């Protein structure tokens, strides 16, 4: 931060400090005569939340009863608000004050993006792009990616059924490719990145998958599939981390527990929501079997009751609405670990706390960073690795691979959404106070 903040940042800091005070004053004034209305609305909202979870984790009559109660509770919540229109107005004003706080605080704190070392990347003499034509509902074909690649002098390599993606990447490099890319989902990106890292040549990510989380954290526009090809012809190069579990490399994350077991289902790819609804009762319902995962938390305490474990290549933003589910950086040389230790309706409560902004501070959710992490179990463990279903032998040994991959991105790539998040911390509040008073 500069020694003397500009007038606009000082004004923004004052507004950011005043907004929550105004919100608190408004709440106190309104609750003077409407406290029980507020309690009733909150109770109905919580009842709907728990009933939804009850309906998801039960079968037959139990699921129907949960759905009915959820609908009635949600309708009651709407009626309470609709019959007390002043409460709705106050609610809207409160949301506006919260938004004002966020915008003003972001400007006042003037968060500089994490410095990333990049170097200009001239067009390679020979380049290759492997593409999965079926990935992402056929994005590669829809955007004529093969033809667009040829226009730029990039050799397109089509992934056919039965092909070994690792062998295709190795062969392309053996044939002289100086840069190799992948147009497909995150699981395919990880495999090609494994080869690119081993052969020490740049990797290009083309967001032609379904979700493209890796592309998002690289700052790519996931809707601009063709524009991502600019990484070959007008790009910059940087080094990022990879992560590994046993002998498998991943670019995003490895999930164990409930999510991993859903991913294992053959029906998951074609009907994700229906598969979740069908399998949730067995995974986290009252008759669910323990996941059987064992590991030590940062304090050295043995954990044996985890419902879900997520190990990521650097940490995800989970405490802030802005950038939630993305990573501010993927070159920090660490793993992010998220552990859920809640069951039944406890998961519904955790979800409500997450929505309310309490995130990792909620009971039942632990987060920490580490360079290595080990999970033990009896026999094989179901793992969702960058969205791909695997079974790996225990123990699972995770490690960060700092700076293992050279990546090329277009010059117009932006910073990831998590880099824009302003966290409500004591340090940031202190910074706001100092900024407001010109220090």
Residues 261 and 287 placed together within one structural domain of the fold:
yes
Together in a domain, 232 and 128: yes
The pTM of this model reads 0.73
Examine residue 324 and say whether the peptide bond preceding it is cis (omega within 30 degrees of 0): no
- What is the Cα 191 distance to its own chain's centre? 20
Total number of residues shown for the chain: 439
Q: Is 2 helix (H, G, I), strand (E, B) or coil?
A: coil
Determine the structural domain holding residue 81 and report its residue range: 7-111
> Which residue among 77, 111, 145 closes a domain?
111
Mean pLDDT of 363-377: 87
Q: Indicate whether 333 and 360 sit together in one domain.
A: yes
Provide the pLDDT for residue 356: 39
What is the average pLDDT value for the chain, to the nearest integer? 80
**Domain stops at, among 66, 82, 111:** 111
Q: Does one domain contain both 107 and 174? A: no
- Burial class from Cβ neighbours inside 10 Å (0-12, 13-18, 19+) for residue 83 reads exposed
Which residue spans within 287-334 are E strands per DSSP?
295-296, 302-303, 308-313
Percent of the chain with pLDDT over 70: 73
Looking at the fold, whether 82 and 99 belong to one and the same domain comes out as: yes
Same domain flag for 313 and 412:
no
Query: pLDDT tens-digit profile of 146-186?
Result: 999 999 999 999 999 999 999 999 999 999 999 999 999 99
- Overall domain count for the chain: 3
What's the pLDDT band for 312 if we cut at 50, 70, 90? very high
Do residues 374 and 412 share a domain? no
- Per-residue pLDDT, averaged over 359-383, amounts to 81
Mean pLDDT confidence for 51-80? 75
Does residue 1 have a pLDDT over 80?
A: no
Q: Which residues in 224-257 are b (16+ Cβ under 10 Å) and which e? A: ebebbbbbbbebbbbbbbbbbbeebbbbbbbbbb
- If pLDDT is split at 50, 70 and 90, which confidence band does 258 have? low
Q: Are residues 94 and 227 located together in one domain of the fold?
A: no
d(CA 182, CA 319): 32
Q: How far is CA 158 from CA 161, 174, 348, in A?
A: 10, 17, 44
Residue that finishes a domain, picked among 64, 88, 111: 111
> Are 142 and 170 contained in the same domain?
yes
């Amino acid at each position: 931060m500069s020694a003397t903040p500009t007038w606009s940042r000082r004004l923004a800091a004052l507004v950011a400090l005043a907004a929550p005070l105004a919100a608190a004053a408004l709440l106190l004034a309104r609750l003077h005569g409407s406290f029980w209305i507020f309690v009733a609305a909150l109770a109905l909202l919580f009842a709907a939340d728990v009933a939804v979870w009850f309906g998801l984790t039960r079968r037959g009559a139990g699921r129907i009863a949960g759905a009915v109660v959820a609908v009635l509770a949600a309708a009651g919540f709407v009626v309470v608000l609709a019959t007390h229109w002043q409460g709705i107005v106050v609610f809207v004003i409160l949301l506006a004050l919260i938004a004002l706080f966020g915008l003003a605080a972001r400007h006042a704190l003037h968060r500089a993006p994490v410095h990333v070392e990049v170097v200009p990347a001239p067009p390679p003499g020979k380049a290759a792009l492997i593409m999965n034509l079926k990935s992402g509902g056929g994005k590669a074909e829809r955007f004529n990616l093969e033809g667009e690649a040829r226009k730029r002098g990039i050799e397109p390599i089509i992934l056919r059924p039965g092909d070994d993606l690792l062998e295709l990447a190795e062969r392309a490099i053996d044939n002289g490719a100086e840069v190799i890319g992948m147009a497909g989902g995150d699981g395919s990106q990880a495999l090609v990145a494994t080869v690119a890292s081993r052969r020490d040549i740049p990797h290009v990510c083309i967001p032609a998958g379904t979700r493209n989380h890796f592309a998002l954290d690289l700052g790519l526009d996931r809707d601009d599939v063709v524009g991502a090809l600019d990484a070959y012809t007008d790009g910059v190069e940087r080094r990022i981390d990879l992560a590994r579990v046993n002998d498998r490399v991943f670019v995003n994350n490895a999930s164990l527990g409930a999510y991993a077991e859903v991913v294992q289902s053959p029906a998951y790819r074609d009907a994700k929501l229906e598969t979740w609804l069908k399998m949730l009762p067995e995974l986290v319902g009252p008759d669910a079997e323990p996941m059987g995962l064992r590991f030590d938390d940062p304090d050295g305490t043995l954990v044996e009751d985890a419902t879900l474990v997520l190990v990521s290549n650097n940490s995800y933003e989970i405490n802030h609405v802005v950038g939630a589910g993305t990573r501010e950086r993927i070159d920090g040389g660490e793993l992010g670990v998220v552990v859920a230790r809640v069951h039944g309706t406890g998961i519904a409560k955790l979800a409500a706390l997450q929505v309310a902004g309490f995130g990792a501070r909620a009971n039942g959710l632990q987060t920490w960073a580490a360079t290595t992490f080990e999970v033990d179990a009896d026999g094989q463990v179901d793992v969702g690795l960058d969205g791909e279903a695997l079974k790996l032998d225990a123990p699972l040994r995770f490690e960060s691979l700092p700076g293992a991959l050279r990546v090329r991105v277009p010059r117009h790539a932006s910073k990831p959404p998590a880099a824009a998040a302003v966290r409500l911390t004591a340090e940031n509040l202190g910074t706001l106070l100092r900024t407001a008073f010109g220090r």
